[in-house]
Amino acid sequence: MLKVLTHPNPTLRKKSREVADVFSGGIKKLIPEMIETMKNSDGAGLAAPQVGENIRLIVASHKDQTLVIFNPKIIKKSILKEWGEEGCLSVPNTFGEVKRCKKITIQFLNKKGLKEKLKAEGLLARVIQHEIDHLNGILFIDKAKKIKKL
């Protein structure tokens, strides 16, 4: 299990760089560690900068699958947005309402290094948008309203 960095750690505020080689030894090891950390912490998603790696890699739980997403780009998004409650492993015990696109389509590299497209809506779309924000140094508390601390 990896240590999850918490706000205001400066690593969380850096823009992460693209991954050129999804097969590099470091990344091969990082993926299962990130998945384990996400699951053990009851997170719906985790971005590499949260565990101290400023690279564009996110993992997300979706139904019984775990998505491994490199270099995600939102190539289509709905005009329709919706508010929903979010929290973050890097901002413990804090929740707030964030407005996100209801549907998105992303293009990314999968763990085999192949280009893939994914349409997401509802919770998965929210999680992916939240995690992509992490890759750009943005935390949900930057956008949230009605922030509450437990």
Min dist. Cβ of residue 63 to Co ion (A): 20
Min dist. Cβ of residue 79 to Co ion (A): 25
Min dist. Cβ of residue 48 to Co ion (A): 12
Cα separation, 95 vs 141, in Å, equals 8
Give the dihedral sign, CA 60/32/92/70: negative
What is the DSSP annotation of 45-114? EEEGGGGT--BSEEEEEETTEEEEEEEEEEEEE-S-EEEEEEEETTEEEEEEEEEEESEEEEEEE-TTS-
Span interacting with Co ion, options 4-12, 18-26, 34-42, 83-91, rule CB under 5 A: 83-91
Residue whose token pair is 């900068």: 49
- Among candidate residues 68, 92, 74, 80, the one with its CA nearest the CA of residue 133: 74
For Co ion, the closer of residues 111 and 133 by Cβ is: 133
DSSP 44: S
For Co ion, the closer of residues 46 and 109 by Cβ is: 46
Q: Is 88 in the site for Co ion (CB under 5 A)?
A: yes
**Could you give the string, one character per residue 23-62, with x where binding to Co ion holds by CB under 5 A and - elsewhere?**
----------------------------------------
Interface with Co ion: number of residues (CB under 5 A): 1
Span interacting with Co ion, options 28-36, 75-83, 87-95, 110-118, rule CB under 5 A: 87-95
- Residues carrying an active site annotation: 131
Min dist. Cβ of residue 105 to Co ion (A): 21
- Among candidate residues 109, 9, 108, the one with its CA nearest the CA of residue 49: 9
Residues that bind Co ion (CB under 5 A): 88
